[in-house]
Amino acid sequence: MLRRRESLSVIGASVASASLALSCRQGGRVETRENRVVAPNPCGEAFADPPWKRLSSAKGDLPVPSTSDQQTGSMVGDIDGDGCLDFVITNRRKGDAAIWMQNTAQGRKQHIIDPGPLNIEAGGVLFDIDGDGRLDLVAGGDNSSNEVWWWENPHPDYDRPWKRHTIKQSDKTQHHDLMIGDVLGPGRPQLVFWNQGASALLLAPIPENPRTRPSPWDIQMIYHRAGTGHSSAGRDARFRLFRARIRRGILAALDIRPRR
């Protein structure tokens, strides 16, 4: 829940969105951008005053993304490690497949992650896959692709595209809702994602040396939706373990509901 006197920004794309505080240093200081809070409503909550301000590339507040008209995902994280949150926009059909907007004191600066062509499904996650201290990008293909990828953060050379690695390259297409956590723990984190074409929730442990390891990763199914929509996952030992750890808060935000 958003606490009082906490500023929040929402990044919107045509299909997906993300939200996080995006305050940034301006002229060597941190911009706080606190909203004044008015009297609580009957539910005990309070609304910000003045209302949120919408910043749009259409008005010149942000660079126009060099993607297509089907932007599919938006992810927020400190990609360059300067303490200011940046964001990523992914895409399909045409244009750059993924770009990121660097949060600078002079405004947003656009960089290309992958020039494509690549059809990226809605969803995605930023996580330090190779353990070098810099956030990398993970996303999957849409209904035209059976692949899932991660992109290697090229810090500090942001003028070149990121190197793309393959996580999955087999079986069914379309991959939505990716998350990373040590759900089997304790150990190295795992990637968990929904594969619409297979009606399955898949888990892939992050391998040792992911930059040099041969692709794809080892993937295991931890849930499969039966044809009627009633799953058999509750009888699967691995899935019960997974759900138990979710209840303990290790991966509390994962949406395990199958898409219909």
Preceding peptide of 210 cis, ω within 30°: no
Does 78 sit near Ca ion (CB under 5 A)?
yes
Query: Cβ neighbours of residue 243 under 8 Å, at least 6 residues apart?
Result: 256
Binding of residue 77 to Ca ion (CB under 5 A) = no
Binding mask 114-133 for Ca ion (x = CB under 5 A): --------------x-x-x-
Minimum distance of Ca ion from residue 20's CB (angstroms): 12
One of 77, 86, 111, 179 touching Ca ion (CB under 5 A): 86
Nearer to Ca ion, 133 or 249 (CB): 133
* Closest of 111, 100, 141 to residue 123, by C-alpha: 141
Q: Residue 14: what are its φ and ψ, rounded to 5°?
A: -70, -20
Candidate segments 34-42, 147-155, 211-219, 230-238, binder of Ca ion by CB under 5 A: 147-155
Burial of 38 (0-12, 13-18, 19+ CB in 10 A): exposed
Binding marks (x or -) toward Ca ion, 10..39, rule CB under 5 A?
------------------------------
The CB-of-158 to Ca ion minimum distance in angstroms stands at 11
Least Cα distance to 251 among 187, 176, 197, 185 occurs for: 185
With respect to Ca ion, which residue has the nearer C-beta, 92 or 134?
134
Cβ at position 122, least distance to Ca ion in Å: 23
* Distance linking the first and last C-alpha atoms of the chain: 28
Beta strand 86-91 with 98-104: parallel, antiparallel or unpaired? Answer: antiparallel
How far apart are alpha carbons 96 and 30 in whole angstroms? 32
Q: Is 225 in the site for Ca ion (CB under 5 A)?
A: no
How far does CA 249 lie from the centroid of its chain? 19
- Binder among 13, 80, 91, 149 for Ca ion (CB under 5 A): 80
Residue 84 touching Ca ion (CB under 5 A): yes
Q: Does 6 bind Ca ion (CB under 5 A)?
A: no
Residues at the contact surface with Ca ion, assessed by CB under 5 A: 78, 80, 82, 84, 86, 103, 128, 130, 132, 134, 136, 153
